[in-house]
Amino acid sequence: MGALDGKVAFVSGAARGQGRAHAVRMAEEGADIIGFDLCDQLQTVVYEMARPEDLEETARLVEATGRQMVAGRADVRDPSSVQEIFEQGLGELGRVDIVVANAGIFAGLGDAGRSPAAWQDSIDVLLSGVYHTCEVAIPTLIEQGDGGSIIITSSTAGLGGLYADRNATSGGIIGYVAAKHGVVGLMRVYATSLASHRIRANTIHPTGVDTPMVNNSEFARFFQEFPNAFDTTRNLLPIPWVEPVDIANAAVFLASDAARYITGVTLPVDAGFSTI
């Protein structure tokens, strides 16, 4: 038996990285998946973003576990497109129990990251996108009457500042930090306002995760240019980053009955980063 047998998880940013890990680990624990991703490039993001074939690979990996996945392209900035994929998944899988609001970008690098658009894209994807993802699913969670779990991906940057070197900051970086703090407030509103429906809400706060969003040549160039910024992003444990599955394991726990009385929590999965 899996920890999530009979449940359905709605996962944003599911094409690769943390989102893929969430989808696959939850499927391994018995959940079916409704997953979506933009699968396109934003001009303010200088590393290569996920492509349609990445989302297809996530679906293949989920189905290899014996579970089902309804996968489609949707933009978290556009609630109507999120609603469309959610309704498609609901129609095929019949219910939803878990929301993993995970879709994210880092629009803080290079000249593009210093543009006004980088701030706006960061807020639109990382804060408004989380709101849209949750709001699409919450009415069904309430109507079903079986409770549920909302899990929001924040960051260590949602618990403190990021980069002590002012020269290293940009509109995109400031927007990233502001949004990652903002989703904590959003989570707390959901935790309090949905508790009577037995719907729990929590945030996860990873340190750097070995995904294409972090492990890329543009990020390496950034740290070469601003070595003092790197000094503020060291983990306490002697590792450069954690793996996507480490975050997914925490999400599986929060989604499971083992965490049935855990709500309103900011959970670091950060190799001790937040203790420094």
Q: Give me the active site residues, please.
A: 176
Burial tier of 159 (Cβ tally within 10 Å: 0-12, 13-18, 19+)? middle
Find the Cα–Cα–Cα–Cα dihedral 218, 224, 225, 226, rounded to 10°.
110
Contact present, 229 and 165 (Cβ < 8 Å)? yes
Dist CA 256 CA 250 (whole Å): 10
Chain centre to alpha carbon of residue 175: 16
| Phi, psi of 238, rounded to the nearest 5 degrees | -80, 65
Q: Which two tokens stand for residue 112?
A: 């593009």
Q: Which two tokens stand for residue 48?
A: 């290569």
Q: How many residues does the chain have?
A: 276
Contact present, 245 and 21 (Cβ < 8 Å)? yes
Contact present, 187 and 264 (Cβ < 8 Å)? yes
